[in-house]
Amino acid sequence: MASWEAKTSDHDDESGLVERAVGGDRLAFEKLYRMHRNRIYGLVWRLCGGDGALAEDLLQESFIRAWQKLDSFRGDSKFGTWLHKLSANVALSDRRSRIKRLERETVLDGAADRGATGAKDVYAGQRMDLEKAISRLPERARTVLVLYDIEGYSHAEIAEISGMAVGSSKAQLHRARKLVREELDK
């Protein structure tokens, strides 16, 4: 089978799974979960600053929301693209609610650093240095860097997802890149 046929077949399989899942087939949705969980985990892990436990929670929340909103998937894009955007929104929404909650709470001495990488190191060497540098970025700068440089979103899409202006997205990207370079030069 030619590689383009394999890709078409994979897409057809995914489309079929989506169609069956929309009809309530939980096994089809489970297959979609298995196909996309690693990429979605990587996205939410980066967006939450490398916090593995939070990333697991966001991964699960993303798929719960996908199941709930599956009937709104129109097929204008690939399912993975739709799921990716939904997951980014889940992570950013979670961040907004955490910030609001933190603003209401009294800061406790010795509170855990949200930018910590976590106990589970999943990369080594230079890649780990880069991941640490990204996790130490301020929230907005990290969000734009992850969505633009790693995930390939445009500034217009980032503005739509995050609620910031396109110009702010560009400024945050510039800031994030500068901070990452400084961190890696240390």
Would you list the domain boundaries of the chain? 8-122, 123-186
**Identity (one letter) of the amino acid at 71?**
D
In the structure encoding, which two tokens stand for residue 105, read together? Answer: 């709470």
- Residue 94, CA distances (Å) to 38, 58, 62, 121, 165 in order: 20, 8, 11, 23, 20
Mean pLDDT of 156-171: 90
Q: What is the pTM of this model?
A: 0.64
Q: Do 8-122 and 123-186 fold alike per CATH?
A: no
Q: What are 102's two structure tokens?
A: 């933190």
Fold category of 123-186 in CATH? Arc Repressor Mutant, subunit A (1.10.10)
Looking at domain 8-122, its CATH architecture is: Orthogonal Bundle (1.10)
Average pLDDT over residues 75-96: 90
Query: pLDDT digit string (tens) for 91-128?
Result: 988 888 877 776 665 544 444 444 444 444 444 455 67
Burial class from Cβ neighbours inside 10 Å (0-12, 13-18, 19+) for residue 183 reads middle
Phi and psi (nearest 5°) for 72?
Answer: -90, -5
Which tens digit of pLDDT belongs to each residue from 123-146?
Answer: 445 567 788 888 889 989 999 999
3 state DSSP class of 111: coil
Three-state DSSP state, 165: coil
Alpha-carbon span 55 to 19, nearest angstrom: 28
> Averaged over 155-173, what is the pLDDT?
91
Q: Which two tokens stand for residue 94?
A: 């979670």
Q: Which residue has the higher pLDDT, 163 or 32?
A: 32
What is the torsional sign of CA 161, 162, 163, 169? Answer: negative
Q: What percent of the chain has pLDDT over 90?
A: 47
